[in-house]
Structure 1
Amino acid sequence: MQRAVADSLRIVLESAVAEGAFPGGYAVVGTREGIVAEYGAGRLDSADASRPTAQTVWDLASLTKVVATTSAVMQMVATGAIALDTPVVRYLPEWTAPVAAGVTVRHLLSHHAGLPAWRALYKEAETPEEAWRLVLATPLDTVPGVRFVYSDLGFILLGRLVERISGEPLAEYGPRHVFDPAGMRDTRYLPPASWRGRTAPTEQDPWRQRKLRGEVHDENAARLGGASGHAGLFSTATDLARFARLYLNGGRLDGRQVLDSAMIRQFTTVQNPTVSLRALGWETPTGRNSAGQRLSRRAFGHTGFTGTSLWMDPERNLFVVLLTNRVNPTRQNSRIGAVRSRLADAVSAAMSGTPPDASPGQ
């Protein structure tokens, strides 16, 4: 099995590099017990021929939403510091936008809050404080609970909620309460300059007029100071493999209980199927997303704009991490979508011993 999984990683990643889906990428596959196979392909950049390794640092983009923010909220719900069905304004009374009083923490986590998907904060504001005021002032598009709209604004609010309840900056909460206890030493907001040499460059950014390396790609996260609930986290394949094992092991790793097992089950369960198949923070398989066609209904995962993705399947005891810099040199490259689902299907087939071209039921 190990050889088959390793071969599937090599074939999918090398093919993706050849097709121009990304300059470089690294994938790691494993179970709750440990890593089964991993593989790096391509190069970090046209000006850096280094092959990606398990220690390459990647801009996670929206994986931040689940790795950092969702995990933090989960911890706070477990302790009773936050209640899922409490209105967000109870915790953030300064959020006085029309109809905001009807939005609960659960609505924000499942993207059912009625907020718009995005706002160009970085163009409208000059400081983090100004950007935050714009978030608070942005009106809802619909009433809460009736429509799914994947919203960065909702997770910006959740990141601020974590700070308000914990009394700690977001950039400090994650390492102290989630990453360091899980043995994730290379997962941080605002990575130090010493990491730059092993960090995959992202885009030749049209706004900042420079190629970004070790600096958050997401413009709104940059305007908010580099650490936000929706983006800004950097990590490695080694660390995300540990994170995946943490979730698959019910929140426990190397003898330390970091997350509550009952909370993991609750947060990875579809919340309101009449609106969407979203869990709390997490995606679940839809047959059309990056989970591919073979993961079980209990699987959960997420993607990131820069070319990252993470899927875990507790029923099949499987995780798949894919880290790439597909926005290098430009975000106009959209080939990553097919690669994600192809990788998930190839790995699932290899782990189960099923021919790659056979349907899951065969």
Structure 2
Amino acid sequence: MRHTLYAVRPITHHRVLAVVRPNWLSGDLRVGLPGTPRRKGIQRSGGVTFNGVRDIVTRAIGNRVFPAACMEIGRADQVLWAGAFGQLTYDTDAPLASHDTVFDLASLTKVVATTTLAMRHVDAGHLAISDRVADHLSDWRGAAREAVTVADLLAHTSGLPAYLPLFRDLVGRADFEREVCRLPMAYPPQTTSIYSDLGFILLGFLIEDLSNKGLQEQFALMAFECKWGELRFSPPATWKSRIAPTGDSVWRRRSLVGEVHDDNAWALGGAAGHTGLFGSAPAVGRFARLILRTFGGLARLTRPTTLKTFAQRTEVPNSSRALGWDTMKSTSSCGNRLSKSAIGHTGFTGTSLWIDPALDLYIVCLTNRVHPTATSNAIRQVRPALHNAVIEALYGSA
């Protein structure tokens, strides 16, 4: 059955009071917003600076971890700090990164689009996380698959393998759905967690079937209602001059600018449950603020109880996964100083979003670390240090 989702009460936007112009390598946007922020914990007295954060990003650019980065740090009702760093490529004449630079968000799509749409369908009564996948997708058949639920797709416990290069032989939803639904199980479902793009590809198909609109259109309507701004699948040509390039595609034989980096998503038309969104740091920040306000009952992207259910870590052994989201642990990409209630996600292209309702804090870091190639994993060391530096700036040493 197809349904129409209810409208979301949009977050209130505030006037930016101060902007500091970027220099050649980095720019700070210090923002003061009306209203008193809900600050939990013991914050440092006096003015807060994020010099440690800036230094880490600047060194990473110097070490060619990524050519460009845009960050935003904030609370439910205000932006605390934003910075734009580097140039869009390593070419000496490349444009500077700026606060409106748009990035391929990669797997942030899983939480910003797919998981959020799933939560809204749960609220509207179109979906339950306990629903069997077989009751929604007719090709999902077989004894090993019988008990797999929507929650298993969200928590990466479905039994599906992590990844397959389906784009080499398949194009379009029908081919992908048939192939993924018939793959041999990589492990017994619900016994462990293996992060799977394939599971979220299926989840995207399932969400499309709940409505008379495709995934891209459902997300566009939600983003419009919530006034997220520059956050969308298939960015228009008018954005191209400020989109951070990703890598050179061997399969497509061209450099990618404004075209989804992931080849499976490309074969699905650019919009898929696992990846495909493009956006700027301010747009992702607006999403994060609405999540924080929903946690606090101050806005309603979803019911607060639904959001809290999705943010709860599953009981699967050795897994840090919640439903769609990852959660805080000492080895997380967010470092070791966020609270246990923090939820977040990363993206292959070099993107990251962490939201901590206990600290009333979000941290957005968008980079194009896959330019010109994705061979380096140095960002794995940068991310934890970066998040720890944010907490150091706000609260001091551990």
**TM-score normalised according to structure 2 size:** 0.85
Residue 96 of structure 1, CA deviation:
2.4
Task: Say whether residues 1:305 and 2:348 are aligned partners.
Answer: yes
Structure-1 separation of matches of 2:136 and 2:172: 23
Q: Secondary structure at the match of 1:334?
A: coil
Q: Secondary structure at the match of 1:99?
A: helix
Structure-2 separation of matches of 1:167 and 1:8: 48
Residue in 2 that maps onto 1:249: 293
Residue in 1 that maps onto 2:66: 22
Cα pair 1:9 1:27 within 8 Å, conserved: no
Q: Secondary structure at the match of 2:358?
A: coil
Where in structure 1 are there 5+ consecutive unaligned residues?
none
Structure-2 separation of matches of 1:273 and 1:292: 22
Task: Say whether residues 1:147 and 2:207 are aligned partners.
Answer: no
Residue in 2 that maps onto 1:38: 82
Residue 92 of structure 1, CA deviation:
1.2
Task: Say whether residues 1:188 and 2:224 are aligned partners.
Answer: no
Map 1:177-216 onto structure 2 (within 5 A). Answer: 177=222, 179-216=223-260
Residue 67 of structure 1, CA deviation:
0.4
Deviations 1:44-86 (A, max 9, x none): 0134522222211110000100000000001111122111111
Where in structure 2 are there 5+ consecutive unaligned residues?
1-43
Residue in 2 that maps onto 1:169: 214
Residue 257 of structure 1, CA deviation:
2.7
Task: Say whether residues 1:315 and 2:358 are aligned partners.
Answer: yes
Residue 123 of structure 1, CA deviation:
1.2
Which amino acid in the other structure matches residue 92 of structure 1?
L
Cα pair 1:251 1:259 within 8 Å, conserved: no
Residue in 1 that maps onto 2:27: none
Task: Say whether residues 1:69 and 2:110 are aligned partners.
Answer: no
Which amino acid in the other structure matches residue 11 of structure 1?
D
Which amino acid in the other structure matches residue 308 of structure 1?
T
Structure-1 separation of matches of 2:143 and 2:340: 37
Map 1:1-362 onto structure 2 (within 5 A). Answer: 4-47=48-91, 49-96=94-141, 99-177=144-222, 179-250=223-294, 257-352=300-395, 354-355=396-397, 360=398
Whose helix proportion is higher, 1 or 2? 1
Structure-1 separation of matches of 2:104 and 2:47: 29
Cα pair 1:202 1:325 within 8 Å, conserved: yes
Which amino acid in the other structure matches residue 24 of structure 1?
A
Structure-1 separation of matches of 2:203 and 2:250: 28
Structure-1 separation of matches of 2:69 and 2:166: 30
- Residues 127 and 267 (structure 1), Cα distance of their counterparts in 2 relative to 1, 3 Å cut: closer
- Residues 5 and 229 (structure 1), Cα distance of their counterparts in 2 relative to 1, 3 Å cut: farther
Q: Secondary structure at the match of 1:249?
A: helix
Cα pair 1:292 1:342 within 8 Å, conserved: yes
Which amino acid in the other structure matches residue 142 of structure 1?
Y
Cα pair 2:73 2:364 within 8 Å, conserved: yes
Structure-2 separation of matches of 1:208 and 1:251: 42
The sequence identity of aligned pairs, in percent, is 39
Q: Secondary structure at the match of 2:226?
A: coil
Structure-1 separation of matches of 2:370 and 2:337: 27
Residue 258 of structure 1, CA deviation:
2.3
**TM-score normalised according to structure 1 size:** 0.93
Q: Secondary structure at the match of 1:157?
A: helix
Residue 256 of structure 1, CA deviation:
5.8
Cα pair 1:251 1:258 within 8 Å, conserved: no
Residue 15 of structure 1, CA deviation:
1.1
Deviations 1:100-155 (A, max 9, x none): 22110111101111111011111122444323322222221222110110000100
- Residues 3 and 203 (structure 1), Cα distance of their counterparts in 2 relative to 1, 3 Å cut: farther
Residue 181 of structure 1, CA deviation:
1.9
Cα pair 1:58 1:236 within 8 Å, conserved: yes
Q: Secondary structure at the match of 1:342?
A: helix
Which amino acid in the other structure matches residue 243 of structure 1?
F
